[in-house]
Amino acid sequence: MKFDPFIYLAIPVLALELVMMVYVYQLQPRAWANRVFALYMLVLALSTGSSLVAGTAPTAELARIGSWLQITFTFLTGPLLWILLFLVFTPKSPRLRWYIFPLLILGVVPVLLMLTDGILGTNLIFRFDAANYAGPVYVSIRKYLINPTGLWLYWGNIVALNSGVLIPLVVFSVSSRIAPRLRRTARILTGAVLVTTVAYGLLRYVSFVLLSLTGPLFAATATAWAINLYRVFSPITVAQRQAVDTAVLGLMVFDENKILIDANRKAIELLTLRPRMIGHLHMREMFSWLAQHAENPDDLNRIWNTLQQDDLKPIENEEIRLRPYSPTQPNETRYINFHIVPLYDPHKLLIGYLFSLEDLTEEREVLIRLQRANEELQKNIHYVTLLNEITRIALQTENFSQSLQPIAQYMCRAFGADECVINLWDETRQIAIPVAATENIRRFLAERRPQSHELNITNYVLETGEKLVVPNVQEFPQIHPRLLPHIKAVTLLGLPMRAGDKKLGVILLGFNNPREFTEEDLNRADQMANQISLALTRIQALQSEREKRQQLEVLREASIMLSETLDLDTVLDRLLDQVGKVIPYVSATLMLVKDGQARMTRTRGYEPFVEDVDAWMRDFVLPIESTPNLKWMWEHKRPFIIPDMSQYDEWIKTKGSSHIASWAGAPITSQGQVIGYFSLDHTTPNFYQPHHAPLLESFASQASLAIQNARLFKQVQQRAAELEVLAEISASLRDANTVTDVVQLVLKSAIKALRVDVGVVFLLNPDSNKLVIQAYHPPELNLPVIERSLGEGITGRVALSQGVYISQNIAQDNLIFIRLDEELPSLQPVTMISVPLRTSEQVVGVLHLAARTGHTFTQEDIRLLSAISDMAGSALFRAQLLETLEERIAERTRDLEEANERLKELDRLKTKFVSDVSHELRIPIANLTLYLDLIERGSQERFPHYLTVLRHQTERLRQLVEDTLSLSRLDLGGTHIRFAPVSLNEVVAQVIEAHMPGAEMAGLSLSFEPQSDVPIIQAERNQLAQVVTNLVSNAMNYTQEGFVRVRTAYFPERQQVCLSVEDSGMGIDKEDLPHLFDRFYRGKRTGQSNIPGTGLGLAIVKEIVDLHGGTIEVSSEPNKGSIFRIWLPLVPPNWQENVEAGVNRAD
Mind listing the pLDDT tens digit for each residue in 1080-1130? 666 666 655 556 666 677 888 888 888 888 999 999 888 889 999 999 998
- Contact assessment for residue 662 and residue 642, using Cβ atoms and an 8 Å cutoff: yes
Instruction: Say which residues have a Cβ less than 8 Å from residue 1026's Cβ, sequence separation at least 6.
Output: 966, 1100, 1101, 1104
Which residue type does 1074 have? Answer: P
Listed residue (805, 801, 803) closest to 791, CA to CA: 801
Class of domain 5-230: mainly alpha
Distances (CA, A) of 425 to 20, 408, 504, 665, 704: 86, 16, 5, 26, 36
At 1144, is the pLDDT very low, low, confident or very high (cuts 50, 70, 90)? Answer: very low
Segment 595-623 mean pLDDT: 85
Are 992 and 1008 in contact by the 8 Å Cβ rule? The answer is yes
Query: Cα(707)–Cα(668) distance, rounded to whole angstroms?
Result: 9
Pairwise pLDDT comparison (1104 vs 721), residue with the higher score:
1104
Query: In angstroms, rounded to a whole number, what is the distance separating the alpha carbons of residues 788 and 1028?
Result: 49
Q: Which of 257, 194, 270, 182 is nearest to 226 (CA)?
A: 182
- 202-211, 436-445, 806-815, 919-928: lowest mean pLDDT where? 202-211
Q: Is the pLDDT of residue 237 over 50?
A: no
DSSP 190-222: HHHHHHHHHHHHHHTTT-HHHHHHHHHHHHHHH
Give the closest residue to 1018 by CA, choosing from 1113, 1110, 1145.
Answer: 1110
**Among 592, 593, 541, 575, which residue's Cα sits nearest to residue 696?**
575
β-bridge mates for residue 1121, sequence order = 1117
Distance CA 171, CA 176 (A): 10
**Of 140-149, 383-392, 479-488, 913-922, the least confident:** 913-922
- With cut-offs at 50, 70 and 90, classify the pLDDT of residue 241: very low
CATH 3.30.450.40 fits 564-715, yes or no: yes
**813, pLDDT greater than 50:** yes
Region 337-358: what's the mean pLDDT? 82
CA-CA distance, 1101 to 1124, in Å (whole number)?
11
C-alpha span between 75 and 848 (Å, rounded): 135
Residue 305 CB-half CA count within 13 A: 6
pLDDT of residue 235: 47
Predicted confidence (pLDDT) at residue 176 exceeds the cutoff of 50: yes
In 3D space, the residue among 753, 791, 813 whose CA is nearest the CA of residue 1147 turns out to be: 791
pLDDT digits (tens, 9 = 90+) for 186-200: 787 788 778 777 766
Nearest C-alpha neighbor of 414 from the set 436, 443, 382: 382
pLDDT digits (tens, 9 = 90+) for 1000-1024: 888 999 999 999 889 999 888 888 8
Same CATH topology for 374-542 and 735-884: the answer is yes
pLDDT band at 239 (very low <50, low <70, confident <90, very high): very low
Q: What are residue 1120's phi and psi, to 5 degrees?
A: -120, -35
Q: Which is nearest to 1039 in space by CA: 1007, 1067, 1065, 1062?
A: 1065
Nearest-angstrom CA–CA distance, 167 and 385:
78
* Mean of pLDDT over the chain: 77
Maximum separation of any 2 CA atoms in the chain, in Å: 194
pLDDT value of residue 228: 54
Distances (CA, A) of 635 to 618, 627, 639, 700, 953: 26, 12, 11, 16, 28
Closest alpha carbon to 1025 in 995, 1066, 999, 1045: 995
Is the confidence at residue 867, as pLDDT, over 70?
A: yes
Helix (H) or strand (E) holding 14: helix 10-27
The three-state secondary structure class of 492 is: strand
- For 413-448, b/e burial (b = at least 16 CB within 10 A) is ebbebbbbbbbbbbeebebbebbbbbeebbeebeee
**More confident site: 620 or 23:** 620
**What fold, for 974-1145?**
Heat Shock Protein 90 (3.30.565)
Tens digit of pLDDT for each residue in 940-983?
A: 777 777 677 677 667 656 655 665 666 555 555 444 567 889 99
Could you tell me if residue 553 is left (phi over 0), alpha (psi between -120 and 50 degrees) or otherwise beta?
A: alpha
Burial of 76-97, coded b for 16+ CB within 10 Å and e otherwise, reads: bbbbbbbbbbbbbbbbeeeeee
Q: What is the DSSP string of 750-792?
A: HHHHHT-SEEEEEEEETTTTEEEEEEEESGGG-----EEETTS
Cα separation, 401 vs 356, whole angstroms: 58
- The SS3 assignment for 268 reads helix
Using pLDDT thresholds of 50, 70 and 90, give the confidence band for residue 1049.
Answer: very high
Q: How far is CA 1116 from the centre of its chain?
A: 74
Which of 767, 768, 766, 785 is CA-nearest to residue 776?
A: 785
According to DSSP, the β-strands at 350-359 and 419-426 are unpaired
User: What DSSP assignment string belongs to 1043-1105?
Assistant: EEEEEEEEETTTTEEEEEEEE-SS---GGGGGGTTSTT---HHHHHS-----S-HHHHHHHHH
Using the predicted structure, report yes or no on whether residue 236 has a pLDDT greater than 50: no
Q: Where are the domains of the chain?
A: 5-230, 243-359, 374-542, 564-715, 735-884, 974-1145
Listed in sequence order, the residues at least 6 apart from 111 whose beta carbon sits closer than 8 Å to its beta carbon are 72, 75, 76
Strand 1042-1051, strand 1004-1009: pairing: parallel
Quick check: helix, strand or coil at residue 642?
A: strand
Run of H or E residues at 1129: strand 1121-1129
- What is the rounded CA–CA span in Å between residue 1035 and residue 1064? 8
The residues facing 640 across adjacent strands are: 665
Give 469's contacts (C-beta < 8 A, 6+ positions apart).
Answer: 491, 492, 493, 494, 517, 522
Rounded Cα distance, 817 and 308, in Å: 111
Burial class (CB in 10 A: 0-12, 13-18, 19+), 403: buried
The CATH number of 374-542 is 3.30.450.40
CA–CA separation, 1017 and 1130 (whole Å): 5
Partnered with residue 1125 across adjacent β-strands are: 1060, 1113
Amino acid letter at 388?
Answer: N
Indicate the fold that domain 735-884 takes in CATH. Answer: Beta-Lactamase (3.30.450)
The per-residue pLDDT for 730 is: 77
Do 307 and 250 touch, CB atoms closer than 8 A? no
Burial class (CB in 10 A: 0-12, 13-18, 19+), 124: middle
For position 945, what pLDDT does the model report?
A: 74
Architecture of domain 243-359: 2-Layer Sandwich (3.30)
pLDDT above 90 covers what percent of the chain?
A: 5
Question: Left, alpha or beta for 1037 (phi > 0: left; psi -120 to 50: alpha)?
Answer: alpha
Give yes or no for a contact between 334 and 322, defined as CB atoms under 8 angstroms apart. Answer: yes
Q: From CA 450, how far away is CA 685, in angstroms rounded? A: 10
465: which residues sit within 8 A by CB, 6+ positions away?
Answer: 496, 498
Distance CA 192, CA 195 (A): 5
Q: What is the number of other CB atoms lying within 10 angstroms of the CB of residue 150? A: 22
Please write the tens of the pLDDT for every residue from 868-886. Answer: 888 877 777 777 666 665 5
What's the pLDDT at 1138?
53
